[in-house]
Amino acid sequence: MAAEKIPYKIYLSEDELPRTWYNVRADMKTKPAPLLNPATGAPMGYDDLRPVFCDELIRQELDNDTREIPIPTEIRDFYKMYRPAPLVRAYCLEERLGTPAKIYYKFEGNNTSGSHKLNSAIAQAYYAKQQGLKGVTTETGAGQWGTALSMACAYLGLDCKVYMVKVSYEQKPFRREVMRVYGASVTPSPSETTEVGRKILAEHPGTTGSLGCAISEAVEAATKTPGYRYVLGSVLNQVLLHQSVIGCEAKTALDKYGVKPDIIIGCAGGGSNLGGLISPFMGEKLRGERDYRFIAVEPASCPSLTRGRFAYDFCDTGAVCPLAKMYTLGSNFIPSANHAGGLRYHGMSPVLSQLYHDGYMEAVSVEQTRVFEAAEQFARIEGILPAPESSHAIRVAIDEALRCKETGEEKTILFGLTGTGYFDMVAYEKFHDGKMTDYIPSDEELQASFARLPKVPGQA
Amino acid sequence: MAAEKIPYKIYLSEDELPRTWYNVRADMKTKPAPLLNPATGAPMGYDDLRPVFCDELIRQELDNDTREIPIPTEIRDFYKMYRPAPLVRAYCLEERLGTPAKIYYKFEGNNTSGSHKLNSAIAQAYYAKQQGLKGVTTETGAGQWGTALSMACAYLGLDCKVYMVKVSYEQKPFRREVMRVYGASVTPSPSETTEVGRKILAEHPGTTGSLGCAISEAVEAATKTPGYRYVLGSVLNQVLLHQSVIGCEAKTALDKYGVKPDIIIGCAGGGSNLGGLISPFMGEKLRGERDYRFIAVEPASCPSLTRGRFAYDFCDTGAVCPLAKMYTLGSNFIPSANHAGGLRYHGMSPVLSQLYHDGYMEAVSVEQTRVFEAAEQFARIEGILPAPESSHAIRVAIDEALRCKETGEEKTILFGLTGTGYFDMVAYEKFHDGKMTDYIPSDEELQASFARLPKVPGQA
């Protein structure tokens, strides 16, 4: 059979948009560890989580068994406004690299939030609306998640309160403005509007905030405001579930052309994109049906998988959230100030952490100047100006393609291009002007952070 | 025959990407008037234009007869990186407006230049490369055209010199940075690097520049640098030709579902998007095969069609360019400082000007606060954050849809959504904070400008 020429972009039809999310936990022999109550150390069940999360989302969070969970029609209708997302064959990049490798990327940047975050934002907002809530609270760092949630809430007529890490609030006023266009209220964090915010400000006057602080504030605001719940853009099992739409679409598109990837690469901050991208492929691997190499790429300045501890830790700085078992740098770890992109969370999705721990996935860390080199190269060749986060995956995809060039192997590489860098031009400018530096935390710095990990029964 | 449900987004396949551009001039009974030599008043032919423009582009500029001009394979291959562009059925907007009208928009923002400008940029860069040139020069205002040209030149390995209106250079540093990522050199205009720039600076010290000034500088730089030519992102016949890919795709997509638009709406600055969108439809109208209403939407602060003169005028401020017969506000007209979006060119495409003059097209002008109201409404309902330019078309599409609601008419409306507003958040912020004002030039102001129109033989 003559191989059909694969187009530059494989677009699925709306009918081919997945009807179910893929819950990779159903295939895991060792399930991700449960969330623990920080006060008692007991696993948190449905009722324990109800003050914080929406009911249906808790069910999804705790469901380790159902492999396929139906996507409600209303969410699928919203998906149709910007999905299916294209799977792109990087013909130009392959040619320029002179590699025998075949490179594909799943591009999630063709929507106003500029990233894949919208896939989970609409799901979480939908279930909040279903439950009759007035609104939701959340935190945002670089602002992609906050933007996505604002868009979803505007669409559904829900109120949206975003706590934005203060340094981003000030350095990325345009992201803030996008959220305001969508009707969200945006508060720089830490703020005086919450108890935990005031406490952090008292202890660290002049702090520019962190994702961990903003989470604490958003959780407090949700639990203290009647009719509100807290939603989160990464890390949680439910988020990976929603993001599996990325992997399901990618797999359907590749299957149409009989293509099987050898290597699947994604950037990893909290793990939402990587987890979503690999889910159905990982399912095949876990069931022993097919082998794939999975590579998580993280910044050298925030290396939770490659240098963190696999331990129970707080998800936030204010220690108001449940404990999660994950690869972590410690909830007080903040990447150095010269770190440009996102991917700055101290921990990692418990699902991905477990898979990594069990040897189903590899991880590498890369320095940001090499990341921006890849970003600029990619932009000039493939046209799309990538987000710094996404460029971590580009860097390693290019490295793997160049390795194929050396060995002559015709491997098929799939990577996740999570979004666009239109709001990251300050970082691009720094790189361009030779003012970008790298930073790798010292072992001492990490040891000091590990020493502050919470004491949990059964954890050394 | 049961009507097939029309999807949210109609994506053509790569095979359906147009193979020819549509030259609407072939259908015009009265052709657009020729460019004139400003010194002699004589029509400019192929040889006269060669110092400024690329050879093949001059042929396209002067060709009023060939209806379909083949798109070279290399350009089609580049198009495949971001085209076919989606034709979107605005189901959500229709529902929210409660209108019986059916609304479609052709969305050109899914590429890093953020607009349709890339369609002509790659064509012009390609012909420059074909001719063995080293590089091209151009001007840019808001920066979309400069970005598009930078992308095209990076792809082809051509040098790209952009003269950016000084006020934009300073207010939109991120646009400038995107161009730098793509390897372009960006000079704020007026500058000391050209004779005309120095002259303008001497006469108007402290000027923040205008599109007309930047054109003068770019043309001078091209004609004085061996191996360079000047390229332009709008107004010219060749640009409308390349942009016809928008209309051809839109028509193919609509034809697939048997849909015929009643009203076609586009924003109009120099006319590149509107001209491209309407070309094949206008062809049918000119040939008497079918009737359509075409509506050009321009800013009330820069109303070339609705309040300008149909006359020969300079295309630039420095009067180094040929004279073009068009609707113009006078080459010294500069929109008031409170004008937020693009669409600030003093003239209008000679093709569109002639069609408007001959009664084939309507034009309306809208004030910018009403434009931003529509933009915000559209963003919240349809998800996409539109460019201010595009939002002019949205405004009138909504107005027409609401008129249908009053009359009960089920009209089909097609409008051009030229791009995204990610680099226009300062304007959105102004609007949101209630600080945006409107400005309508007085009759006296326009009369004073008209008084300075050049004396041309046979022109009153």
Helix (H, G, I), strand (E, B) or coil at A64: coil
Give me B137's structure tokens. Answer: 């020069």
CA-closest candidate to residue A302, choices A424, A142, A175: A142
Interval A248-278: pLDDT, tens: 999 999 999 999 999 999 999 999 999 999 9
With a cut of 70, say whether residue B138 has pLDDT above it. yes
For residues A48 and A111, give the distance between their C-alpha atoms in angstroms, rounded to a whole number.
Answer: 35
For chain A, say whether B46 makes contact (Cβ under 8 Å): no
Query: What integer pLDDT is reported at residue B173 of this predicted model?
Result: 87
For residues A347 and A353, give the distance between their C-alpha atoms in angstroms, rounded to a whole number.
Answer: 9
Q: Which residue has the higher pLDDT, A337 or A162?
A: A162
With a cut of 80, say whether residue B340 has pLDDT above it. no
Contact B425 A178 (CB under 8 A): yes
Helix (H, G, I), strand (E, B) or coil at A224: helix
Percent of chain A, pLDDT > 90? 88
For chain B, say whether A51 makes contact (Cβ under 8 Å): no
Provide the phi-psi class of A192: left if phi over 0, else alpha when psi is between -120 and 50, else beta: alpha
DSSP per-residue codes, A153-213: HHHHT-EEEEEEEHHHHHH-HHHHHHHHHTT-EEEEES-TTSHHHHHHHHHSTT----HHH
- CB contacts < 8 A (A, B): 116
Which amino acid, A240? L
Which amino acid, A47? D
Contacts of B335 (CB under 8 A, 6+ apart): B299, B301, B302, B344, B439
Query: What integer pLDDT is reported at residue A168 of this predicted model?
Result: 87
pLDDT band of residue A1 (cuts 50, 70, 90) is very low
Which residue has tokens 């030259």?
B23
Query: What integer pLDDT is reported at residue B39 of this predicted model?
Result: 86
Which residue has tokens 């360019």?
B321
Contact assessment for residue A179 and residue A146, using Cβ atoms and an 8 Å cutoff: yes
Interval A90-133: pLDDT, tens: 999 999 999 999 999 999 999 999 999 999 999 999 999 999 99
CA-closest candidate to residue A328, choices A346, A345, A343, A344: A346
Contact B425 A177 (CB under 8 A): yes
Q: Which residue has the higher pLDDT, B275 or B210?
A: B275
Mutate to test the interface with B, among A75, A81, A373, A435 (most CBs of B within 10 A): A81
Contact assessment for residue B442 and residue B305, using Cβ atoms and an 8 Å cutoff: no
Q: Which of A265-269, A280-284, B213-217, B399-403 has the lowest mean pLDDT?
A: B213-217
Alpha helices in A194-324 (DSSP H): 195-203, 211-224, 237-256, 272-286, 304-307
Query: What average pLDDT does the segment B58-72 reach?
Result: 98
Mutate to test the interface with A, among B110, B181, B256 (most CBs of A within 10 A): B181
Distance from the B227 Cα atom to the nearest Cα atom in chain A, whole angstroms: 22
Contact A112 B432 (CB under 8 A): no
Contact B379 A112 (CB under 8 A): yes
Query: What integer pLDDT is reported at residue B3 of this predicted model?
Result: 54
Q: Which of A164-173, B219-228, B259-268 has the lowest mean pLDDT?
A: A164-173
ipTM for the assembly: 0.93
Contact B112 A155 (CB under 8 A): no
For chain B, say whether A145 makes contact (Cβ under 8 Å): no
Query: What integer pLDDT is reported at residue A3 of this predicted model?
Result: 54
For residues A54 and B32, give the distance between their C-alpha atoms in angstroms, rounded to a whole number.
Answer: 63
Contact assessment for residue B182 and residue B152, using Cβ atoms and an 8 Å cutoff: no
Which residue has tokens 């890919």?
B245
Q: Which helix (H) or strand (E) holds B180?
A: helix B173-181
Mutate to test the interface with A, among B380, B430, B435 (most CBs of A within 10 A): B380
Query: What integer pLDDT is reported at residue A460 of this predicted model?
Result: 58
Contact assessment for residue A145 and residue A121, using Cβ atoms and an 8 Å cutoff: yes
Across chain A, which distance is largest between two alpha carbons, in Å?
70
Beta strands, E only, B225-332: 228-230, 263-267, 293-299, 309-314, 323-328
For residues B387 and B38, give the distance between their C-alpha atoms in angstroms, rounded to a whole number.
Answer: 35
For residues A290 and A265, give the distance between their C-alpha atoms in angstroms, rounded to a whole number.
Answer: 17
For chain B, say whether A423 makes contact (Cβ under 8 Å): yes
Contact B11 A11 (CB under 8 A): yes
Distance from the B425 Cα atom to the nearest Cα atom in chain A, whole angstroms: 6
Interval B2-28: pLDDT, tens: 456 899 999 999 999 999 999 999 999
Contact A155 B425 (CB under 8 A): no
Contact A420 B110 (CB under 8 A): no
Q: Which residues of B touch A111 (CB under 8 A)?
A: 383-384
For residues B274 and B265, give the distance between their C-alpha atoms in angstroms, rounded to a whole number.
Answer: 8
With a cut of 90, say whether residue B317 has pLDDT above it. no
Interval B345-390: pLDDT, tens: 999 999 999 999 999 999 999 999 999 999 999 999 999 999 999 9
pLDDT band of residue B158 (cuts 50, 70, 90) is very high
For residues A273 and A294, give the distance between their C-alpha atoms in angstroms, rounded to a whole number.
Answer: 13
Contact A383 B178 (CB under 8 A): no
Distance from the B77 Cα atom to the nearest Cα atom in chain A, whole angstroms: 9
Q: Which residues of A touch B380 (CB under 8 A)?
A: 154-155, 181-183
Query: What integer pLDDT is reported at residue B2 of this predicted model?
Result: 43
For chain A, say whether B80 makes contact (Cβ under 8 Å): yes
Mutate to test the interface with B, among A385, A391, A428, A431 (most CBs of B within 10 A): A385
CA dihedral B90, B93, B97, B103 (to 10 degrees): -20
pLDDT band of residue A37 (cuts 50, 70, 90) is very high
Distance from the A323 Cα atom to the nearest Cα atom in chain B, whole angstroms: 35
Which amino acid, B121? A
For chain B, say whether A173 makes contact (Cβ under 8 Å): yes
With a cut of 70, say whether residue A307 has pLDDT above it. yes
Q: Which residues of B touch A253 (CB under 8 A)?
A: none
Query: What average pLDDT does the segment B94-108 reach?
Result: 98
Mean pLDDT of chain B: 95
Count of CB atoms situated within 10 Å of the CB of A330: 25
pLDDT band of residue B168 (cuts 50, 70, 90) is confident
For chain B, say whether A80 makes contact (Cβ under 8 Å): yes
For residues B429 and A160, give the distance between their C-alpha atoms in angstroms, rounded to a whole number.
Answer: 18
CA-closest candidate to residue B83, choices A5, A8, A109: A8
For chain A, say whether B253 makes contact (Cβ under 8 Å): no
Contacts of A271 (CB under 8 A, 6+ apart): A234, A235, A240, A296, A348, A349, A351, A352
Q: Return the HEC string of B88-141.
A: EECHHHHHHHCCCCEEEEEECCCCCCCECCHHHHHHHHHHHHHCCCCEEEEEEC
pLDDT band of residue B460 (cuts 50, 70, 90) is low
Query: What integer pLDDT is reported at residue A2 of this predicted model?
Result: 43
With a cut of 80, say whether residue A176 has pLDDT above it. yes
Which residue has tokens 């249906």?
A56
Which amino acid, B439? Y
Query: What integer pLDDT is reported at residue B1 of this predicted model?
Result: 38
Query: What integer pLDDT is reported at residue B239 of this predicted model?
Result: 98
